[in-house]
Amino acid sequence: MSTTLGPVRIREVGPRDGFQNESELVPTDEKVRLIDQLMRTGLRRIEVTSFVRPDVVPQLADAAEVLRRITVPPGVRVSVLIPNSHGLDRALELRDRIDEVSVFLSASETHNRRNVNRSVADSLVGLSDVLERVRDAGMRCEAVIATTFGCPYEGRVPDARVIAIARELIEAGAHEIAFGDTTGMANPLQVRRFFALAREQLPDVELTAHFHNTRGQGLANVLAALDVGCTSFESSFGELGGCPVPPGATGNIATEDLVSMLHEMGIDTGVDLLALLGTAVALRDVVGRPLGSHTLVAGPVAWRS
């Protein structure tokens, strides 16, 4: 493990990545209540919603209302996911409520077509326009590359392909690149190798890891990324989330599991784990089902002297 690691940055994506994958709509009042709780746990970056088409993702049809109603404390940055230029038009109507924008595409041609009905090349063209407009609006932008570590349709995705896509996004104006293990195919050795390469090839941009726990390897992959100096991660409270394509792509790593592990390792996150667990309990009550979070079941480690 690297001895030069400083505090870890966590971007909470549950209110967007999580809620959009729930089969039952989460009422707007409950979304606002849960997001307001999350914002008081010490988390400093929260992806609140997405301006996707309401007929495609009805779970996020209340994006504008949620943004208007949440209470954002000082020091917390609000992020939204933008699928295209039309989505950005809607987001810019609430520019004063948004600090950061995320855009996304897949490294895999097949996954990208199934997810957004575009080729990777076409997505890059469209996102270049969005990134330029985001930059002109004075907002920070993160670009997420899905299926970085493997595609359920195409298999292994060459590292060189992912790095080339990242370079195009950086040239278009992305301040941060997140590499997504969209269907939980990554393993720790692969992750360590990839992030060592990415840090070498992309030295002037923040690199973020987005792991899913589909096959139970999420935190092991976090450790591998940490080992080569990655200190920025995305996670979802309660282990909510997944991917609409294909079936079986379960949730992101649980934020409370990530925070618990990092704190036990002596790595600062700035997050109050007990407050975060309280929010996960409230989430469990809202969705009415058990959640994937281990720390929610076991509680924080209670050392005895």
**Structural domains of the chain sorted by starting position, each given as residue range(s) with its CATH number in brackets:** 9-298 (3.20.20.70)
Distance between CA atoms of 88 and 106, rounded to whole angstroms?
19
Q: What is the pTM of this model?
A: 0.95
Q: Is the pLDDT of residue 33 over 60?
A: yes
Q: Are 239 and 277 in contact (CB under 8 A)?
A: no
pLDDT of residue 243: 77
Tens-digit pLDDT profile for residues 239-272: 999 876 666 667 899 999 999 999 999 999 999 9
User: For 279-284, what is the mean pLDDT?
Assistant: 98
Burial status of residue 303 (CB atoms within 10 A of its CB: 0-12, 13-18, 19 or more): exposed
2 pLDDT tier (thresholds 50, 70, 90): very low
Q: Which of 141, 151, 230, 243 is catalytic?
A: 243
Distance between CA atoms of 10 and 253, rounded to whole angstroms?
12
Q: Is the pLDDT of residue 92 over 80?
A: yes
pLDDT of residue 134: 95
pLDDT of residue 5: 62
pLDDT of residue 251: 83
Q: How far is CA 143 from CA 79, 123, 151, 205, 267, in A?
A: 12, 12, 18, 11, 26
141: annotated active-site residue = no
Q: Is the pLDDT of residue 3 over 50?
A: no
Tell the residue number behind the tokens 């957004």, with chain if given.
116
